Amino acid sequence: MQGKGFIKFIAIVLAIVCAYALSFTLVASKVEKDAKNYAKGDLAKEKAYLDSMSTEKVYPVLGFTYQSVKSKEINLGLDLKGGINVTMEISLSELVKSLADNTTDANFNKALQNAQTQLNAGGKDYIKLFVDEFEKLSPGVKLADYFSNQDNASQLKPNATNNEVQAFLSKEAESAIDRSFTILRSRIDGFGVVSPNMQKQPGSNRILIEMPGIQDKERVYKLLQGSAELQFWQVYQVQEVVSLLENINKTLASTLKDTKAAADTKDTTAASAAGGKLAGLEKAATDTTKGGKLAGLGKKDSTAAKAEIAKSNPLFSILSVPTYQAENGQPSLRPGPIVGWVAQKDTAKVNSYFRMPEVAAAIPSTMKFMWSVKPMEGSKVFELYAIKVVSADGKPDLGGDAVSDSRNDFDQKGKPEVTMYMTSEGAAKWKKITAEASADPQNKKSIAIVLDNQVYSAPTVQNEIPNGVSSISGNFTQEDTKDLSNILKAGKLPAPARIAGSFVVGPTLGAQAIHDGLISFVIAFIVILIFMALYYHRAGWVANFALLLNLFFIIGILVSLGAVLTLPGIAGIVLTIGLSVDANILIFERVREELALGKNTAAAIKEGFKHAMPSIIDSNVTLFILGAILYVFGSGPVQGFATTLCIGILSSLFAAVAISRVVFDSLLNRKVEVSFDNNFTRNAFKNLAFNFVGRRKIYYVISTIIIVAGIGMYFKNGGLNLGVDFKGGRTYLVHFDKAVNTEDLKTKLNPVFGNETPEVKTAGEDSQVKITTTFHIEDQDPKTDKVVEDALNKGLSGSKYEIVSSQKVTPIIASDIVNGAFYAVLISCLFMFIYIVIRFKKWQYGLGAVIALFHDVLMVLSFYTILDGLMPFSLEIGQDFIAAILTVMGYTMTETVVVFDRIREKLKEAGKDDLHGEERNQLINFALNSTLSRTILTSLTVFFVLLVIFIFGGDSIRGFIFALLIGRIIGTYSSLCISTPIVIDLGSSAEKKN
């Protein structure tokens, strides 16, 4: 075999990369285990332990901190960890209306309304929809008359065309989404979510947010939907505040002297912070960075000593005043606006100290304290600022409405900076504020940029800025300036962010999902290992070694890429492992054919790999195409499934083909006997001669009967059983302490849901139900979610229950999902057709394969409609069903391509491009029978894997796996009885035309 050394090298490098990626999970688990042992069930103590370890180096040799290690461990999805998934929608209609100064023009507002209606129905690009609608309602009227004004004169001229206005609005819409993303991200960071996942959804005005481990739904919704408030405040310098902090410390010591100080303090480490500058564009100055270090108790101090110091210095035991070492070697106050450094875990305690009546009375009314928006780089230490309140009404010096625009630029030296433009009214106030702040050349003051009461930046003012155009420079990265620019524009225009969809998973459901997923994973894996070892004897153990390596590679690659592991993702891994067996089976069956011809083992292995490769490549390419389409058009669980499927396919090709070949060569070189069968399997599937082609019309009739029955049940049931994904609404999974009657629940819930009868179905067991309602689903009021949940709780009162998960999908999200599903299936079929035609150079093959795909989709849908209500679990059609449908299509294509490859091989041996008449019938029958062993073995392997997941995988994916089970059977039937035999009829039709 050529390139054995290269394959070994790649395998070793890949193994090292995967081991490295997985090592972070092991290290994090060890720290968390130590925390549990230390806390002995005390959750507060456990959290305090982990907080104290956040900046400690816990990774041997490499020296990563626990905080770094935790961010690199296996990222579990909401269905495994519990948490909240929210889709935020930025209201572009309100943005456009605000840009037009809230015009009352009837046609303008009607165009906004019509555009929103079209968007809700599945339309794309709200700005284009609005412009088109406006031009219909007001032909000949210029949009520039509404949008061109003094504040945006540099971007939009009064004589601009409608196309130029559309480009301006599109740019503003994109900017609004970007700054909303920045604001939402900062709010989530402040919320304290571990490993949040935020994504802007391309081509839409939506932002997807996943918050694992978070359960306070109402607080999250309030946090995400609150309007942003940008403010500019003057700030006190540290030398103006230090005496007050000393008085507060003394007051606390006196007040708390009779109480026991039990807070463990952690030594603080050296840190540095970058100071910024604020200057007119014409007088931008260079930046300076002032270093400093945190003072704190050393590690050698005993707990008793720490407690004693905390008694006498309650504030200064957790708050460090910024200092630096002066030329005389003595510590001096570090000049600037930062008045304190506090570890994240102690910020709440500092806040509580400031709220104490005795302390609050000592703080002047002209001062209030605010925290930095994020910790200092490389630490969990936050900066404390003392904000100066100069107005009698307590309002800031300047509001966000004073900013007309902001851009992230570069200064003359090529360093990132932010350019801020004020409105004419704001510029006048800005001139006065900056003049006051820069009045003393020896003590220039800072101005804090504050959003949601958190300080984003506090640049030092270098000089008076008279024209309202300012540059903010500092030790910035491009990402920093982009974020700050978005923050500065946050208060400019109202573009409210509303929750368009949400999914909440309780921790108990997540824990159960992990248990069920792991059980199904282990059992399915053992089933495959046992089957391969029993059926293929010693060669089966080679395949098992490749499978174990494949599993290691898949999980390692997932972790190294930062992919989120979901329950469908686990199903995807197990399924991929089952499908990877297909490559080994293809090879082994070809090797057995060569051995039957009398070749020695080495020659048979060489020929087996050679002849199996085209089928392996073709089948894996078709599956990869489907996985890619699933990833593009799916979201959430579907994307998780697609990610593992695609990674698994690539890994399986390498492990099952390249590595197994290296192992075989190594065994042969060491003169080890390699067997591919045993006494029981040696003659299995020999001398098969089924007449698939001759009976094809019988199969057509069978399929027609099932599809017609499905259509009949479709009309009888009033359509398909669409899940909330496809029709919109709210779904709640409720677990009761005992069995409940679904009809009784409907009766109780009907009046509280405004006489709208909800859908109530048993979910897995008699004590668990899924409740779906469209009550208030189109109401955009942020309080509506709580109104609906309160109604649900009222209807369920009198019973002991727990809402273990909830999901909300607005009509606009539902329409997008429907469109995405439709295009996913359609584009899959198109790609399959193109690939088959190019690969096999016969349109009949491509069309036959596509007809088989549509046949499979109709068959699975028919079984779903026929069996709906008869099965003890839900047969809803949602996003996961579409994933199942596309995977079924992948099965069929894999099976079909293998047969097509065998036909192509035989034609090549005969030196012909095609055969006709009875010769073609015999050729296709031969191809089907010669690959039947592989078809049946692969189908049975995957079927048993799916069956294990179906039994042990939990209720949350049972409907999904059921679709795959049906699809596995239909896919095998279709590849043998429909897709290949139909080539005969297509070929006959073409011959008649000729």
Q: What is the pLDDT of residues 699-716, one digit of tens each?
A: 889 999 999 999 998 888
Band of residue 273 on the pLDDT scale cut at 50, 70, 90:
very low
- 159/148 Cα distance (integer angstroms): 9
Residue range 152-170, pLDDT digits in tens: 767 778 888 889 889 988 8
Residue range 918-949, pLDDT digits in tens: 777 788 888 888 888 877 887 887 787 778 77
Instruction: Identify the bridge partners of residue 85 per DSSP, sorted by sequence position.
Output: 210, 503
pLDDT(757) > 50: yes
Higher per-residue pLDDT: 556 or 508: 556
What are the angstrom distances between the C-alpha of 646 and each of 349, 479, 623? 48, 31, 8
Percentage of the residues of the chain whose pLDDT score is greater than 90: 5
Q: What SS3 class is residue 37?
A: helix
Residue range 637-692, pLDDT digits in tens: 667 777 888 888 888 888 888 888 888 888 888 888 888 887 777 777 777 778 88
- The pLDDT, as a whole number, for residue 183 is 75
Percentage of the residues of the chain whose pLDDT score is greater than 70: 82
Least confident of 10-14, 749-753, 833-837: 833-837
- The pLDDT, as a whole number, for residue 989 is 53
Report the DSSP pairing between strands 367-372 and 454-457. parallel
Are 571 and 961 a contacting pair, CB within 8 Å? yes
- The pLDDT, as a whole number, for residue 312 is 80
Band of residue 272 on the pLDDT scale cut at 50, 70, 90:
very low
pLDDT(580) > 60: yes
Residue range 490-530, pLDDT digits in tens: 655 456 777 777 777 665 655 666 666 677 778 877 888 88
Q: What SS3 class is residue 970?
A: helix
Least confident of 730-734, 794-798, 957-961: 957-961
Residues with Cβ within 8 Å of residue 284, at least 6 apart in sequence: 277, 411, 412, 417, 471, 473
- The pLDDT, as a whole number, for residue 263 is 37
Residues with Cβ within 8 Å of residue 447, at least 6 apart in sequence: 232, 233, 234, 235, 278, 397, 433, 434, 437, 458, 459, 461
- The pLDDT, as a whole number, for residue 370 is 92
Least confident of 334-348, 393-407, 812-826: 812-826
- The pLDDT, as a whole number, for residue 284 is 33
Residue type, 773: T
Average pLDDT, the chain: 78
DSSP per-residue letters across 359-419: HHTTS-TTEEEEEESSPPTTSSEEEEEEEE--STT---SEEGGGEEEEEEEE-TTS-EEEE
- The pLDDT, as a whole number, for residue 677 is 82
- 114/481 Cα distance (integer angstroms): 37
Higher per-residue pLDDT: 953 or 623: 623
Provide mean pLDDT across the span 19-33.
89
Residue range 303-347, pLDDT digits in tens: 555 566 667 888 888 888 888 877 777 778 888 899 999 988 788
* Phi then psi dihedrals of residue 452, to 5 deg: 55, 40
> Is residue 497 within a helix (H) or strand (E), and if so which, with residue range?
strand 497-505
pLDDT(988) > 60: no
Nearest to 723 by CA among 536, 523, 430, 959: 959
Are 710 and 858 a contacting pair, CB within 8 Å? yes
Higher per-residue pLDDT: 279 or 114: 114
- 550/556 Cα distance (integer angstroms): 10
pLDDT(298) > 50: no
pLDDT(479) > 90: no
Higher per-residue pLDDT: 79 or 540: 540
Residue range 70-117, pLDDT digits in tens: 878 887 776 667 677 778 888 888 888 888 888 888 999 999 988 888
Band of residue 955 on the pLDDT scale cut at 50, 70, 90:
low
